[in-house]
Amino acid sequence: MRKRDQLDAIIDQALSWKFPLQPENSVYLVAEPESRSAWTWVGAKEGDLMRQPVTEERRAMDADIDSDAESDSDSVAEKGMGVVPKVPVLRAFDAQKRGDGMDDAGAGQDGVESDTEEFYVVFLTWKRQVVDE
């Protein structure tokens, strides 16, 4: 969230980008402005991702992976890859509801723990189009 303005500025620029697919035929990949959608999600701070506690659900998932793997292969835990946190929930971004006076990092907001951070993501749909130059 702390870089939301920067991302929005990049998205505004991206709306005018054209990626050549067949430039000799004037066919380009272009963004559909009406497809722009902004979302947020709450997750662990980057430095904390590898220090998530092991849950029973994760142990069961690791056991399933280990039982399906070949006998000589290493499990995720044995490779030292850490524990993958629960999948965050995407929520539609509502700029009008952001007038809560809290900082954009997400800490201190209702339901956001101090060891988590609120993230901001924007999606665009790109389509193949003939562009007159």
Show me where the domains of the chain are located. Answer: 4-130
Residue 130 binned pLDDT confidence (cut-offs 50, 70, 90):
very high
* pTM for the full predicted model: 0.60
Is pLDDT larger for residue 3 or for residue 48? 3
Q: Pick the range with the lowest mean pLDDT from 29-43, 49-63, 100-114.
A: 100-114
The average pLDDT across 118-123 equals 94
DSSP secondary structure letters along 44-72: E-GGGGGGPPPPHHHHHHHHHHHHHS-TT
* Radius of gyration in angstroms for the set of CA atoms belonging to the chain, rounded to a whole number: 21
Mean pLDDT of the chain: 77
pLDDT value at 17 more than 90: yes
Residue 92 binned pLDDT confidence (cut-offs 50, 70, 90):
very high
pLDDT value at 88 more than 50: yes
- Residue 27 half-sphere exposure, CB side, CA atoms within 13 Å? 6
